[in-house]
């Protein structure tokens, strides 16, 4: 692990996730593009929708931690030091942000008019 080459990361994630990697990357790219397009179209943040998205994000963050615990045959209760707290925050944060952005975007494109 002396050099961290992005291609190595790609290879490792491909082995880890198989075809799921491409699905996930697709969701991330499409979701981000749709989110930015929505912001450009509306030129504002819809606060009511944002709150709903953030609430859904909390659930997404928790689900990400549950998923992580399942695939690693362990859990965040095994945390033993600062690096572990960082990992827990990272997993929860990614789950939260990802879900919130997706939900906000989906809601926005479903019911485009201000409610």
Partner 1 sequence: MYKDALAKVIEDVGQKTLDRRSFLMLGAAGAGSLLLAPGSANAAPKIKSSARIVIAGAGAAGLAAASTLAARLDGAKITLIDARKEHFYQPGFTLVAAGIKASPYVVSTTKEYVPGGVELIEERVAEFDPEGNKVVTESGAAHAYDFLIVATGLKLDYEAIPGMEVEQIGNNGLGSIYHSPAKAEATWRAMSNFADTGGVGVFLRPGTEMKCAGAPLKYTFITDDHLRRRGNRGKAELIYNANNKALFSVPIVHEKVRMLFGERGVKVNYERVLESIDIGKKLAVFKTPVGPVEQQYDFINVIPPMRAPDSVRNSPLPWQEGGWAKDGWIEVDKHNLRHARYDNVFAVGDVAGVPKGKTAASVKWQVPVAVDHLVASIAGKESEAHYNGYTSCPLITRLGQAMLIEFDYKDNLTPSFPGVIAPLEELWISWVMKTMALKPTYISMLRGRA
Interaction of residue 33 with partner 1, rule CB under 8 A? yes
Enter the tokens of residue 36.
């930015």
**26 is an interface residue for partner 1 by CB under 8 A:** yes
Q: Which of 46, 61, 64, 68 binds partner 1 (CB under 8 A)?
A: 68
Q: Which is nearer to partner 1, 44 or 83 (CB)?
A: 83
Is 47 near partner 1 (CB under 8 A)? no
3-state SS, residue 84 = helix
Of residues 74 through 113, those in contact with partner 1 by CB under 8 A are 74-81, 83-84, 86-87, 103, 106-107, 109-112
Q: Which residue from 60, 70, 49 is spatially nearest to 93, judged by alpha carbons?
A: 60
Where residue 4 falls (left for φ over 0; alpha for ψ -120 to 50; beta otherwise) is: beta
Helix orientation angle between 20-42 and 6-17, rounded to the nearest 10 degrees: 110
Pull the structure tokens for residue 106: 């989906």
**Binding residue (CB under 8 A) for partner 1 from 39, 50, 59, 65:** 59
CA distances from 23 to 14, 29, 55, 87 (A): 11, 10, 25, 23
Q: Which residues bind partner 1 (CB under 8 A)?
A: 1-2, 6-8, 10-16, 22, 25-26, 29-31, 33-34, 37, 51-52, 55-56, 58-59, 68, 71-81, 83-84, 86-87, 103, 106-107, 109-112
């Amino acid at each position: 692990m002396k050099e961290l080459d992005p291609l190595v990361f790609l290879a490792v994630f491909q082995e880890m996730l198989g075809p799921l990697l491409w699905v996930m990357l697709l969701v991330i790219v499409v979701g981000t593009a749709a989110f930015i397009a929505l912001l450009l179209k509306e030129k504002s943040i819809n606060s009511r929708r944002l709150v709903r998205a953030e609430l859904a994000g909390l659930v997404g963050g928790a689900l990400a931690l549950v998923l992580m615990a399942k695939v690693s045959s362990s859990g965040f209760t095994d945390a033993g030091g600062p690096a572990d707290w960082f990992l827990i925050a990272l997993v929860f944060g990614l789950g939260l942000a990802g879900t919130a952005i997706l939900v906000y975007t989906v809601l926005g494109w479903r019911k485009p008019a201000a409610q």
